[in-house]
Structure 1
Amino acid sequence: MEAKAQEHERLALSCSGKEALDHTIAAAEFYMKAIKQSTSPVDKKRMNRKCEELILKAESLKKSTSLMDTTNYMERKLKLPRQTRQIPTTEKNILYRNSRLHGHTFPPWESDPDPADPSSFTLSPRQEAVFSGWKRPTELIKDMSRDDAGSDNHVVEADDYDLVQDITTDCSVVASLCASMKHLRPGPSSILPALMFPVSSEDGHPRISENGRYVFRMFFNGCFRKVVIDDRLPASSNDRTLYVVDRQNPSLIWPALVEKAYLKIRGGYDFPGSNSGTDLSILTGWIPQQLFLQSDEVDRNATWRRIKKAYDFGDVVITLGTGRLSPDEEEALGLAGEHDYAVLDLSESPESRKLLVKNPWCDGLVWRGVGSASSKVLDEADDHPIKLKPGSFWISFDDVMQNFESLYLNWNPSLFTDRQDHHFTWQLPEANMMGSFAHNPQYSMKAESDGQTWILLSRHFQDEELEISRKTSTTMAAVSNMLGFMSIYIFENNGKRVQLSDKPVYRGPFVDSPQTLAPFEAKQGVSYTIVVATQDLPLPKYSFTLSFFSRTTLHVAPAQYDLNHYTELHSRWTHRTSGGNSVSPLYFTNPQFRICLPQAGPLSILLSTAKEDIPVHVDLVWANGQRVIAVTVRDLVMTSGDYRRGCALASASRVDAGTYTIVCSTFEPGQMADFTLRIGSDVPCTVIPVPGDAAGRLRTQLSPLAFHSGEHKMRAPISVDRLTRVSIVVTRVSVSSASSTGRLPGSAGPGTPRSHSTIRATIERGRGPHQDVLVATGKGEFQEAGFGLRTVECDVDPLVSRSQGVWLVVEQAGSTSPDEGSLQVELFSDREVRVGTWEVDG
């Protein structure tokens, strides 16, 4: 036993922190066992003295490791949800890789804090103008008495709080501090001991750091991380301040230290701004939710009841955000545009529902609308006669709903018992696939019982995002918009991956924040598919965390594909290959693909383009891999249905083995775009482009054909030397070419819809009573030439052409307008065809 004790004693000397404490305790325990086993009084005395030394050393180590102990103690005290999932090594690597930000390292909270902080902070131009150096608190507070100089008052506490900002750009941070002060302020229920060190875990009072270093525990980039700062704050050369101050107690410094730690994460004191929901989630770890108050989906009565109940129980922190306001609107309402406000209290009576709101600016506007001090007459009764601090005002909930843009709610995570965090990276797909969900991160989720499940999507910060936001010198909204948007979709799809956004059971709004929340009522035993949706993200690669909060056991895993094999091809619609829908005479020119299925099974075909305003469609046709000229319902094996903007999906649970033709079309002819075709199947299949209509064929262009007065039918003789397959294409060439008018051939000018004469083209055999039509455009009906008329192929026999004659006939119904132009007629054939000159028929 003594040997084991000595081994642990040796190990304790070679390590530090909690590991050293564990070895020291183990050594003391083995010495105690050795004392019981020993029969020598001398050895017992020696080992007893050794044991006492180790106990004293363990007590000392406990003090040095009290930071970690404080965190664990506070997590149990605050009843935070237990992490039900062991993070795999691959995901831990994601967390470690995302520890570097703005030149600093913010490691995950796993070991004792490192007090060193050599960091530098940037300032905005306005701040630089009055900056007079970095100073410690005792240097900043010039009116502090000699007796106070050595006390903790400048760090610790105040009876009341009135935090404001001056020359800072972080209104959302100060609003967050103001709103959360009831939870941060020292006291038995304070959450500050879980977030700031050194601090008393019993009463929540911050302590003076002997070396001037403070360690903060903040949640970002997927986990709680260490943020180390010193206590130097930016000093001003005049009476303006460059950090958050308390007007009631200017010597109170700890809020400014919290602000400094947060701004270290976000890049410096010149940070362009965020929103208070995001800030509070980082500062406290509470779950952020953003409600858009101008949305029709917000039920104001249900929202009030929900937040009032939660606020009274201390389970929510509330802040508000305005949208863009003109200077006149700001003056009339007493509200600043694109600005965040703290909610300090809620009040409800049979006659009214009100919020006590605070503008964090030190000399900011206050509400001037209905119910404000400026709107009251002298003898009007006041529901809240207590004098308010400058910048604070009561406002009705109805006025909040009407005049504010966002309601930010940060929820106490202890509302839930279980939590799962899933970390992943995502390389954004090519532009063509961004309109579909084919390559988006997706997870399956199944709950063991009915209940509320909240799903939080968090985007990890990157240095490049700060560079993008600093390049924008316009509004905060413009900054947020440049960083892109995120949403969460939920589907009942047996937990399998989905490719389109159609028919979700939940669809969240697209937000410009780095977090978005999906509060969802999960049903027992139902397998859901959770999809991460984004728009306009500027960077090629991102890291995310999906956090699942519940009061029941959840089974969460990456969603699996429905099919075993996927093949992607890239193509485009050009001015020659954009034939429009199946009604268009140019439908046959659309891009087409030959697909060979070696055996029967399920099949999916996704068509996606980067031009999300273009309606697209995909068909699988019985055509043996040949080019499809026209399509009818009986020709279709499967179809994507109605034209859909950006992407379309055709799928079937079973398609027989064989060779088919895929047709990719836009709704209108002439719509040009690149696209990607994604084919899924259970067995590998072969997909190749079908050659164009004229590919490998001889093209014979006839002289332009124009109908003169009284002419309605023209013909030209055809002759061949061998059996030849022939088809006809007829297009109209307007008087002003498309290149000079900017219009397609045969189209009318803007605002001048006009019908043209209609055309029918045929290949006929023989004349008189023995005449026979071999093939005709438009199934024999007259049609406008417009984008072109086309026949299917037919055989021309050289014997028939010599004995009976074969004719190309073009007929016109209706008169020709002066600007209608001529017809261009082309023959496509597999062998040489000779065509005579045009002549009037009949």
Structure 2
Amino acid sequence: MNTSLTQQALNEAKLAVTEDGKGNFGIAKTHYIKVIQLFEQIIKDESNTQKKNTVIRKCQEYKKRVEQLNCILSSSSPSSQIQNQSSNPKANVDALSPLSAVDKLLNDAQIKLAKAKKQDAQKNYQEALDLYTGVAEHYLKAIKETHTHSANAESTRSCSVSDNKLTATEVDVLFKTSHINGKIYYPWLEIDLQEQFTYSELFRDPDGTVNLSDKQKDNFGAWVRPSQITDNPRMIAMISSTSIIQDIVTDCSFVASLCVTAAYERRFKKQLITRCIYPQNKLGQPMYNPSGKYMIKLTCNGIARKVCQLVMVDDLLPVSRDGTLMCTFSSNKDELWASIIEKALMGGYDFPGSNSGIDLQLSFVLITVEKLIHLHSHLILTHVIITIVRLLVRVLIEKVHGKEFWMARILVGDALITIATGSMTDEEADLVGLVPTHAYAVLDAKEVNGLCLLQVKNPWSHKRWTGSFSHLDETSWTSELMKSLEYDRVKAGYKDDGVFWIDFDSVCKYFDSIHMNWNPELFSWRYILHSSWPISDSMHPDNINLSNNPQYTLEIQNSKKESCAVFLLLTKHITVIKENKDYITLHVYNCDNNSGSSNCLDTIATFGEKIYYPGKPFIQGVYINSPHILVRFNAPTGTTRYTIVVAQHEKMNSLDFTLRCYCTSPFTLCEIPQKYPIEKKIAGQWTPLTAGGNKSHITYLNNPQYRVSIPHSSNNNKPRLLIMLEGPKDFAVHVKIAWSRGRRVASVSAKDILSQSGDYRHGFCYCEVEDIQPGDYTIIVSTFEPGLCGDFLLTVGSNVIGFSVVPIPAEGAGMFKKVINGKWIDGINAMGCPNFGEYHRNPCYYLNLKEMTTIKVRLQTPNINPIPATNIKIFEKHASTKKFGREVASSGPYTNYVQGVCTEDVALPPHGYVIVFSTWDKGITGNFVALLYSDRPVEVFEENGQ
């Protein structure tokens, strides 16, 4: 490595950091630029790859810092943009040009960042950490201030949140999803309009050149500037869809979208493309920049952002060995906009392909420039509302939209449309002049004497439709029709530019899907929110359990006589390049009987209350792996209420998302509040010993049980309790909470049940208690069939601070156990209750205790049908007589529970005792089983009723 250059760079770096720390940003910037120039010379001369990469990384860091300083300096007067030598530049800036709240936050953030780096370099790590934290906080506040402004612009007449300011959660989501494919995409700020684009040297992306596709690599010649391939480079010569040509990059859906967008802007004179590209002149038109630096304004992951990290897009374009451009370009050879946009959005040319329902958002589609997430580059250009309509069956498109409806929307500029072919053989495709699995742009639509025709373009700019109403169709075209469409079939035959006319019937027959992108300005009332759905420990997808899904209330006030249109758009935030395996959708549930549902089986939700069981929604969303989901419906006259559920099938990843609502009537859209802010989760198991089944089984008492304790609360809110149980999806499960003072229960009567989940349900069930009194209760979790072994998850939620949930030990846990097998025999020992006068002849067992012992006895009759009412009593035994002494324990009244009867735990002193097992009625015969639990070893033997 050149020692002299390295030493010069080090000296300049020290000066830059020193001035940066003092806040002398103009001086610091000058030194940083010198460092960068020296680094670039070192990189050029260095032969050691490892050392070269190290210098490249450092060079990129300094370039990023220069871009940060540009943001600060551009907010001050023109003179201070060149050099600011004040010892207190911030004060001067404030005096000369008052900063906005956002500008001040960014300014403070940059100052803190410089100080943080200085402390970091000096290994004062704690001080540096504190400063870095402060920087992050300032950026978060800046994001919030910026997006609040744009949110207000979009939703000033909508949700009940009157000021529409972002919540802390929304700020966190937008900040987190600023990191995309390893780069940071900062929010678009007004200060970005003052970005510096002019340099003494040609601008070059410090991240290097973008990736090429395999075909490009095979033919690659060089990276060139526009000035090297044309004498008069211009950003825009003429906005035209016919001039856009797709080259060897496999991004037909993207190019088709650009074609539609260009056609729209040209036809309706509304800026789409021209408003997104910077730098711009005083008329707001994008300009060619001789320095080679451009910036594209996008909406990405829910907010307007810049296509850059801390750097912009350069204009280096790939050409083949024969000098031909190998990217999307314009047939107007001086025009650059298509090439620059493709490079900015793709993030590389090794593009796997997407669909134009997504990419049409990518093209600056729709009156407001906001939204496109591309499957590969994961960036958004325009804000559109996507509808994908399958055309496999003609009647479907007629039923869903009707050709007159959506063709009219094209004519008036309400929608932008692309169409796509499906799979077909090469022979089938060549026969009609189409390309399999290919996207086409719909440029125009006409209706002449009841005949519906579409003007379509192949983004390749060659290979045209050869069927009905093509340039080869001599019989369908009439002079009147050609005049109406300003079309000359014969002249069209001489030039294959990929543009053709096709009738609606042929579209339905040969194309697989239509992607319609709606203008949000059709809707007077709009609202946007951002949220995050973290990965949970739920055992099941949301076709079983909706308890973890984000849910929202939607109330529509429609004062019109006719129904009003409602569009809901869910957009997934994407941060990494990978196959999108997240299948998402939206479900809509009725909260009113008059909400337009024609199916009496639809689930009627309680407005403002969370939905736990999927049931049958008013609108059942279809799970697809597109990052954009659109649900549309009509709300009837009056006030109607709905619950909107965000759904993710087989949830394996967290989901950050934006939800937008568009409506032609006033509405409110709000997240359903958390009724149970405190949750406790317990992972448990049904084992061979605890899988007791439902209450009709003798083993029901063995099921896992939990004591939930509700303390007294000073909160005026009513104490509430939620219990949710998830088990294997093929297990029918049930949960109940019983009045039992938190003790284990063996059987439960109706009067003992505080709440339960109802019928056994596969995989998931829940129950709620709206006003629970302080105290201890018992939760029982069970499967319908006994012996089903598997894991379960118990979730207990409440609004009471300090509530607790603990497992209740199994009956007799930690005690010695003896099993007594006995039998009632008619005429010998089946003597019934004391009312029959021979109670003492019932089966009796002698118990000899030599020390203080706690015992518990359970009696069961598994083989006697019907189950008899039984009882256990324990008496002291007289030493010299056969009479029973004092009664010391009992199972209570005679009952015929399946699980039998049981005594309480009783502590008995050393003595002899007699245990008597009896039935209520005399002459009941059959075998019985008694379980004797004791905390010390005991001896027990049959007395034979003597």
TM range (shorter): 0.5 to 0.7
What's the offset of the Cα at 1:486? 3.9
The letter of the residue matching 1:721 is L
Structural mapping, 1:507-656, within 5 Å: 507-519=620-632, 529-536=643-650, 538-540=652-654, 542-550=655-663, 554-563=667-676, 565-583=678-696, 586-597=699-710, 603-609=720-726, 611-612=728-729, 614-631=731-748, 635-655=752-772
- 1:725 pairs, out of 828, 834, 857, with 857
Structural mapping, 1:652-663, within 5 Å: 652-655=769-772, 659-663=776-780
- 1:271 pairs, out of 337, 351, 356, with 351
SS at match of 1:192: coil
Q: How high is the TM-score relative to the length of structure 2?
A: 0.60
* Cα distance in 2 between the residues matched to 1:834 and 1:401: 88
SS at match of 1:673: strand
Structural mapping, 1:46-61, within 5 Å: none
* Cα distance in 1 between the residues matched to 2:861 and 2:500: 76
Q: Is the contact between residue 820 and residue 932 of structure 2 (CA under 8 Å) also seen in structure 1?
A: no
What's the offset of the Cα at 1:173? 0.9
Residue 408 of structure 1 is matched in structure 2 by: 515
- 1:316 pairs, out of 415, 438, 451, with 415
* Cα distance in 1 between the residues matched to 2:699 and 2:509: 52
Q: Is the contact between residue 198 and residue 209 of structure 1 (CA under 8 Å) also seen in structure 2?
A: yes
Q: Is the contact between residue 12 and residue 23 of structure 1 (CA under 8 Å) also seen in structure 2?
A: no
- 2:538 pairs, out of 399, 415, 431, with 431
Structural mapping, 1:139-538, within 5 Å: 139-140=228-229, 149-150=231-232, 152=234, 155-157=236-238, 161=242, 163-185=244-266, 188-199=269-280, 206-227=286-307, 228-237=312-321, 242-246=326-330, 249=332, 252-264=335-347, 268-284=348-364, 285-293=382-390, 300-304=398-402, 305-321=404-420, 338-348=437-447, 352-361=451-460, 371=468, 379=475, 386=489, 387=492, 389=496, 391=498, 397=504, 400=507, 406-432=513-539, 435=542, 436-446=545-555, 450=559, 451-463=564-576, 466=577, 469=578, 479-480=579-580, 482-487=581-586, 489=588, 492=591, 493-502=606-615, 504-519=617-632, 529-536=643-650, 538=652
The letter of the residue matching 1:427 is P
The letter of the residue matching 1:410 is N
Q: Is the contact between residue 156 and residue 205 of structure 1 (CA under 8 Å) also seen in structure 2?
A: no
What's the offset of the Cα at 1:676? 3.0
Deviates more, 1:388-397 or 1:802-811: 802-811
Q: Is the contact between residue 193 and residue 200 of structure 1 (CA under 8 Å) also seen in structure 2?
A: no
- Does 2:206 match 1:118? yes
What's the offset of the Cα at 1:313? 0.9
* Cα distance in 1 between the residues matched to 2:811 and 2:633: 52
Indicate how the Cα distance of structure 1 residues 294 and 568 shifts in structure 2: closer, same or farther if over 3 A, else same. Answer: farther
Please give the per-residue CA displacement for 1:511-548, whole angstroms capped at 9, x wherever unaligned: 322222343556766665544322345444x4333334
The letter of the residue matching 2:77 is A
SS at match of 1:176: helix
What's the offset of the Cα at 1:719? 3.9
Deviates more, 1:95-104 or 1:326-335: 326-335
Residue 819 of structure 1 is matched in structure 2 by: none
Q: Is the contact between residue 845 and residue 915 of structure 2 (CA under 8 Å) also seen in structure 1?
A: no
* Cα distance in 2 between the residues matched to 1:806 and 1:591: 37
What's the offset of the Cα at 1:314? 0.6
* Cα distance in 2 between the residues matched to 1:632 and 1:283: 66
Could you list the runs of 5+ residues in structure 1 that have no partner in the other structure? 1-9, 27-71, 470-478, 704-716, 732-756, 767-773, 782-788, 812-824, 838-842
What's the offset of the Cα at 1:640? 2.0
Identity of aligned residues (%): 26
The letter of the residue matching 1:131 is F
SS at match of 1:194: coil
Q: Is the contact between residue 585 and residue 624 of structure 2 (CA under 8 Å) also seen in structure 1?
A: yes
What's the offset of the Cα at 1:317? 0.7
What's the offset of the Cα at 1:413? 2.5
Please report the RMSD computed on the Cα atoms of aligned residues, expressed in angstroms. 5.2
Residue 473 of structure 1 is matched in structure 2 by: none
What's the offset of the Cα at 1:677? 1.9
Indicate how the Cα distance of structure 1 residues 326 and 665 shifts in structure 2: closer, same or farther if over 3 A, else same. Answer: farther
The letter of the residue matching 2:626 is S
Residue 222 of structure 2 is matched in structure 1 by: 133
SS at match of 1:278: helix
* Cα distance in 1 between the residues matched to 2:749 and 2:421: 55
The letter of the residue matching 1:212 is G
What's the offset of the Cα at 1:684? 5.2
Please give the per-residue CA displacement for 1:59-78, whole angstroms capped at 9, x wherever unaligned: xxxxxxxxxxxxx9xx99xx
Indicate how the Cα distance of structure 1 residues 503 and 663 shifts in structure 2: closer, same or farther if over 3 A, else same. Answer: farther
What's the offset of the Cα at 1:303? 0.8
Please give the per-residue CA displacement for 1:208-240, whole angstroms capped at 9, x wherever unaligned: 222222222111122222223222212223698
* Cα distance in 1 between the residues matched to 2:500 and 2:695: 64
The letter of the residue matching 2:660 is S
* Cα distance in 2 between the residues matched to 1:803 and 1:136: 102
Q: Is the contact between residue 847 and residue 940 of structure 2 (CA under 8 Å) also seen in structure 1?
A: no
Indicate how the Cα distance of structure 1 residues 92 and 765 shifts in structure 2: closer, same or farther if over 3 A, else same. Answer: closer
SS at match of 1:109: coil
Residue 678 of structure 1 is matched in structure 2 by: 796
Higher relative contact order (CA 8 A, sep 6+): 1
Q: Is the contact between residue 761 and residue 808 of structure 1 (CA under 8 Å) also seen in structure 2?
A: no
Residue 769 of structure 1 is matched in structure 2 by: none
Indicate how the Cα distance of structure 1 residues 828 and 15 shifts in structure 2: closer, same or farther if over 3 A, else same. Answer: farther
What's the offset of the Cα at 1:88? 3.9
Residue 102 of structure 1 is matched in structure 2 by: 181
Please give the per-residue CA displacement for 1:344-371, whole angstroms capped at 9, x wherever unaligned: 2334456554544444346778587xx5
* Cα distance in 2 between the residues matched to 1:617 and 1:337: 52
Q: Is the contact between residue 319 and residue 340 of structure 1 (CA under 8 Å) also seen in structure 2?
A: yes
Could you list the runs of 5+ residues in structure 2 that have no partner in the other structure? 1-74, 83-89, 99-145, 158-162, 198-202, 365-381, 483-487, 592-605, 822-842, 849-854, 874-889, 907-911
Q: Is the contact between residue 857 and residue 931 of structure 2 (CA under 8 Å) also seen in structure 1?
A: no
* Cα distance in 2 between the residues matched to 1:588 and 1:835: 25
What's the offset of the Cα at 1:456? 2.7
What's the offset of the Cα at 1:648? 1.9
The letter of the residue matching 1:675 is L
Indicate how the Cα distance of structure 1 residues 525 and 327 shifts in structure 2: closer, same or farther if over 3 A, else same. Answer: same
What's the offset of the Cα at 1:564? 6.1
Indicate how the Cα distance of structure 1 residues 694 and 13 shifts in structure 2: closer, same or farther if over 3 A, else same. Answer: same
Q: Is the contact between residue 445 and residue 495 of structure 1 (CA under 8 Å) also seen in structure 2?
A: no
